[in-house]
Amino acid sequence: MIKLLVVDDSALARKLIGQMFATEPDFSIQFARNGSEALGLIALARPDVVTLDVHMPEMDGLACLDRIMVEHPCPVVMVSSATAAGAEATLEALRLGAVDFVTKPTGAVSLRIADMAQPLIEKVRAAAGARLRSSLRLRERVRHRTGQTSGALRAPVSKARPAARGEGLVLVGTSTGGPPALEMLLTALPATFPWPIVIAQHMPATFTAAFARRLDGISQLAVQEIRTSVALKPGCAYIGRGDADVVISRRAGDLVGMAAPAQSGYPWHPSTDRMVRSALNQLDPRQLIGVLMTGMGNDGAEAMALIHAQGAKTIAEAEETAVVWGMPGELVKAGGADYVVPLHKIAAQLRKLVS
């Protein structure tokens, strides 16, 4: 039985979310009206998963999440509005330790609540089996226990000029748990990294631009969202636009990444499978490196196993560090991973492969 705590200041939202899970036989549900009430229930009941509204009075979702991850770490799925402000808040929540998020339907919530039912149930069920990294917020947890204050903020990153090298491409796919994993990966790579990196992170379109800006601000690589088409350059990473797919093509002989309308044959977007297959049409497999990291489902596993069989190098995140070992686990099961590497060592493995 999965113990779920639903935290929302709206009585209607609590009722509707409760109704979603009432038909699922493997859930028991409790409710909290605000962050303060939630913290008390978490300390007493120790739920397996918490759904947490971002915007609440008294103690908002981010402040509540911050204390949860320091005082009583457990998997949290954020419930956010699909707005620019909601995107920024949700990305901050993922940085603080939330496992995943769902967006509220626009307009009258009661009329379109069914739109979020299946994604929410799937993500909460996945979160119940998620692995919180033992290093997550470790410094703050130690400070909390010892009564110390938090440390200084990270200094801005200066970007060096990238060095041009032989043509090649790194293709990264990730989903649940992906934003903090990508942060760890990209911040460990230098501005001189010689191959462009193209990323398919399952995420709505209202979130990917803000996510790219966040990564650009903390990484030595130049990071941007692929909104239409863009030339792929060394020392740069490219985030596929949400609710669309990213495909690799050529223009005047140069590699470009393009945002393409989502195709029904690919269930997740941006699709890792479609991205990888499009790259195989433009480059020799030996010029490709595939990286599949944390995420539920199997997006990317089949396509990366294909390029592996044809001579590309592939990396799967190891089970011990993946929040959800779905996508990388499927690649390993298919025999398509050259390397199975914990998250904190993937950047070093990439640097070896392109050197």
H or E element, residue 257: strand 254-261
Give, for 79, the enclosing helix (H) or strand (E): strand 76-81
Query: Rounded to whole angstroms, what are the CA distances from 18 to 29, 76, 103, 345?
Result: 7, 16, 17, 41
Within the chain, what is the greatest distance between any pair of CA atoms? 63
Residues 201-225 as b/e (b if ≥16 CB within 10 A, e otherwise) read bbbbbbbbbbbbebbbebbbbbbbb
Phi, psi torsion values for 114, nearest 5 degrees: -60, -25
Q: Could you tell me where the beta strands, DSSP code E, fall in 82-235? A: 100-104, 169-174, 197-201, 222-226, 229-231
d(C-alpha 119, C-alpha 214), whole Å: 25
- Cα–Cα distance measured from residue 101 to residue 36, given in angstroms and rounded to the nearest whole number: 21
Q: How many Cβ atoms are within 10 Å of 236's Cβ, its own excluded?
A: 22
CA dist., res. 276 & res. 289, Å (int):
10
Give me the active site residues, please.
175, 202, 299
Q: Are strands 222-226 and 229-231 parallel, antiparallel or unpaired?
A: unpaired
Residue 178 token pair: 């992906």
The string of DSSP letters for 290-353 reads EEE-SBSS-TTHHHHHHHHHTT-EEEEE-TTT-SSBSHHHHHHHTT--SEEE-HHHHHHHHHHH
